[in-house]
Amino acid sequence: MDEPTAAPTRSALAEKLGVDIDAGLFSLALTHRSYAYEHGQIPHNERLEFLGDSILGQAVTVRLFTQHPELDEGALAKRRASVVSTVALAVVARRIDLGAHILLGRGENLTGGRDKDSILADTLEAIIGATYLSAGPDAATALVLRLIEPLLDDPDRYGAAMDPKTSLQELAAHTGAAAPLYTVVSTGPDHDRRFTATVTVGAVSAQGTGTSKKHAEAAAALSAWRTLSGRA
């Protein structure tokens, strides 16, 4: 059973965030719906997540617009999408060890929910929403910018994570390498099949696994993209 986070630990998270959040809102922001359902349908963080998503998008949009006058609308939209993607936000969440503080139901806890990209990203957005309600719009915007600043230095990394196969194909064309070639094998019984994909791009070869052919190929493509781009 997943009990509420101890106060000293939560204080450490607040220190990493660098903002004072109302205790009740802080607890709500960390409460996943799976925990809420197992504890009498108490409130969970999805409304705060909805609010935080809007604040995140606005803050990133304004920062990109003001700092990159050379980019057109399409390029700005692509860069924003990569920075606010689930993959990118999960990276930020892991940096502050957010997963250790999330209140999860037993099932999610046992199946690795503390390290799931979607849960980490959603909780981070809920934290942003709680900051807005506790400390106001300026504090919430400042928090967003502190958190995502490192992502702005290398947005292509997170764009690749959103669509690895397309990103790998574009990078291969840009570097003059042959088009990616995929092979996939599967193992295990029908009800628990695992797929392993191998992709070759010039001299680079990488593997990825998943519960479907699509997921395995995407994982292999992302691994190859990181190697080919020098971001391994």
Pair 131, 140: CB distance under 8 Å: yes
- Reading the block at residue 151, the tokens are 């992502």
Query: Residue 201 forms beta bridges with which residues?
Result: 204
Among 53, 73, 115, 192, the one annotated catalytic: 53
Measured from the Cβ of residue 219, the count of other Cβ atoms closer than 10 Å reads 20
Task: Based on the residue annotation, tell me whether 53 is a catalytic residue of this protein.
Answer: yes
Q: Is 73 annotated as a binding residue?
A: no
Short-list 32, 41, 43, CA closest to 2: 32
Q: Is 125 annotated as a binding residue?
A: yes
Say which residues have a Cβ less than 8 Å from residue 226's Cβ, sequence separation at least 6: 157, 160, 232
Among 2, 70, 108, 125, the one annotated catalytic: 125
Q: Is 70 annotated as a binding residue?
A: no
CA distance linking residue 139 with residue 143, whole number of Å: 6
Numbered residues of the known binding site for Mg(2+): 49, 122, 125
Where in the sequence numbering do the catalytic residues fall?
A: 53, 125
Instruction: Give the residue ranges of the annotated binding site.
Output: 49, 122, 125
